[in-house]
A and B are shown apart, each in its own frame.
Chain A
Amino acid sequence: MALLELKGVSRHFGGVRAVDGLDLAVEAGQIFGLIGPNGSGKSTTVNLITGLFALTSGSIAFDGRDFGALPTHLRLGRGVARSFQNIRLFGQLTVWQNLWVAQNSPADHAKRGFLSRWLGGQGDVREEISQLLEFSGLAHKQDELAANLAFGEQRRLELARALATRPKLVLLDEPAAGMNNEEIGLLRDRILKMRAQGITVLLVEHVMELVMDVTDRIAVLNFGQKIAEGTPSEIQADAAVRKAYLGGETA
């Protein structure tokens, strides 16, 4: 059974069908790529999955349960986290506090229960935060205000904050935007490590080398509809995909 399942999902803005009848099934443990030209509905899809936009029609199921009507923070409690295309950190909190807030969210408390939270104490929380800081290469910056971090560090912190909520599924919205090749290489390693730890990843990305390199499966959107789905090599060979990207010519 798929971990995340979208059925006939649509979102219209006035007359614009940003997402139109989308079916998508992401299996647990996969790195799933979502690609498409600008304006094809990728970010809208991510916003629908996290609940920032309401569905016009269709249904979203996560972990076998319907999900489409829950508020955002409760979806997070079920295990869906995301990073943003435009960085949205808590600039006036320190790096450490950014992670602590996410890890200590009420949604998380609901998951862990009142007793274990008090009895378990802060020890394991701190331990997890230092692991996350290590993972994202921010251990030496933990007391820095997030607003003062360099761009690349902010991106890493955003990813770490998403992981701090102990997600089953992480949605990455263009995590490589603005990164140089070396940083993209490190990002690639982190994404693969996440999968190794059993986290499912939905990757929305324009940097094709990264997508083709790490994903197990890819869906291609154009004008809000899915025009192709398959393994990276199938997608690279797909005529409809080439047409969408190259604008009419089948190369």
Chain B
Amino acid sequence: MFFDLIQNTLDGLAMGSSYALLAVGFTLIFGVLRRVNLSYGPAIMFGGYCATWVHLNFQAGLLALAIITIAGAVLAGAYVERLCFAPHRQGSAIAAMVASFALWMQFEEAVTLVMPSHVYDFPAMYDGPPFEFGSLTLRMEALVMLACAVAISYGLHRVLSGSRFGLAVRAVIDSPVAAQLAGIDVPRVLLQVFLLASSIGGLAGYLIVSTHTQITPMLGMWSTLKGLLAMMIGGLGSLPGAVAGGLVLGVLEAHSQWFLGPQSRDLLAFLLLFGLLAVRPYGLWRASSAEAEA
């Protein structure tokens, strides 16, 4: 029982790190645009399918597949930004959100057109035995996920707190109008943030499909939901919140899957979100500046 708790927490933290990465990407986009991008997950799914297609037709190494997944997600992300968000920047948030839903459908249709089977195998990152520490086990993927989440969070923190690009991003988050008048090319910053968020999402997507060792078109909806959920739990628009929200979600899912069975896993996650939003409408971490106006 005690070891189960620890083992589940470890597994949950690992899966939670990939949720954290999804939520970080989501939060970046939400932070600068104040818009929910429903196509976030489907763009990641598109990247995953690009890699799957290459895997089926050519011999490609793991690193190549990871890069293709990320590149595909970035490409799809750029497409989403140009079509859904750039034209509606001053206009209604609903228009942008509905447009992003339309692109979601587009991505699903596109991949099922080229690759019609429901499920495709995806090569595992590592098929050796898991590491054992006493009676605890930890899989290689889990370690890679944790390491990626830590590295990306830290790197992003450094970029946002110190670099010219990072300060421009924070200036846009603070006040888009003032940012323009400080000479910042706001549309360009928005596109760059979109590409950055998509690449983080693409990395999360690769880690997830190579852990599941299979990919379905549902990955799109799944990624959007997990990212959105983790972002809401952590606190709308807060990056540390997104990381924490992802980890909380992962650990909670791992425990409920173990103790209550796989069926109740998602049910519990959504119950948690409802309960949390009722008590803390801004999530666990209140974002520092911006969500007051959102």
| A-to-B contact residues, CB < 8 Å | 50, 52, 71-73, 76-77, 81-82, 84, 88-93, 97, 100-102, 104-108, 147, 161-162, 164-165
The reply to whether A106 and B183 contact each other, CB–CB distance below 8 Å, is yes
Q: Which of B164, B178, B179, B182 has the most CB of A within 10 A?
A: B182
Given contacts A93-B167, A101-B168, A104-B164, contact A88 B184 (CB under 8 A): no
User: CA separation between A187 and B246, bound complex, in Å?
Assistant: 50
Stretch touching chain A among B22-30, B169-177, B265-273: B169-177
Count A/B pairs, Cβ under 8 Å. 79
The reply to whether A90 and B175 contact each other, CB–CB distance below 8 Å, is yes
| B163-201 near A? 1/0 per residue, CB < 8 Å | 010011011011101111111111010000000000000
The reply to whether A91 and B174 contact each other, CB–CB distance below 8 Å, is yes
Residues of chain B lying within 8 A (CB to CB) of residue A92: 170, 173-174, 288-289
Residues of chain A lying within 8 A (CB to CB) of residue B174: 89-93
Residues of chain B lying within 8 A (CB to CB) of residue A50: 181
User: CA separation between A73 and B183, bound complex, in Å?
Assistant: 4
Partner of B182, one of A71, A91, A147, A161: A161
The reply to whether B289 and A102 contact each other, CB–CB distance below 8 Å, is no
User: CA separation between A167 and B184, bound complex, in Å?
Assistant: 15
Number of residues from B at the complex interface, CB < 8 A: 21
| B48-75 near A? 1/0 per residue, CB < 8 Å | 0000000000000000000000000000
| B-to-A contact residues, CB < 8 Å | 164, 167-168, 170-171, 173-175, 177-186, 188, 288-289
The reply to whether A165 and B182 contact each other, CB–CB distance below 8 Å, is yes
The reply to whether B170 and A106 contact each other, CB–CB distance below 8 Å, is no
Given contacts A101-B167, A101-B171, A104-B164, contact A90 B178 (CB under 8 A): yes
The reply to whether B181 and A97 contact each other, CB–CB distance below 8 Å, is no
Residues of chain B lying within 8 A (CB to CB) of residue A88: 175, 177-178, 181
The reply to whether B288 and A76 contact each other, CB–CB distance below 8 Å, is no
Residues of chain A lying within 8 A (CB to CB) of residue B288: 92
Other contacts beyond A93-B171, A165-B182: 17, CB < 8 A: A52-B180, A73-B184, A73-B185, A76-B182, A81-B181, A90-B170, A90-B174, A90-B175, A91-B174, A91-B289, A92-B288, A97-B167, A101-B168, A101-B179, A102-B183, A106-B185, A108-B183
Q: How far is the CB of A239 from chain B (nearest CB, A)?
A: 37
The reply to whether A84 and B170 contact each other, CB–CB distance below 8 Å, is no
Residues of chain A lying within 8 A (CB to CB) of residue B170: 90, 92-93
Which 10 pairs, one residue from A and one from B, show the smallest C-beta to C-beta distance?
Answer: A105-B183, A88-B178, A107-B183, A102-B182, A90-B174, A76-B183, A72-B180, A90-B171, A92-B289, A101-B167
Residues of chain B lying within 8 A (CB to CB) of residue A164: 182
Residues of chain A lying within 8 A (CB to CB) of residue B185: 71, 73, 105-107
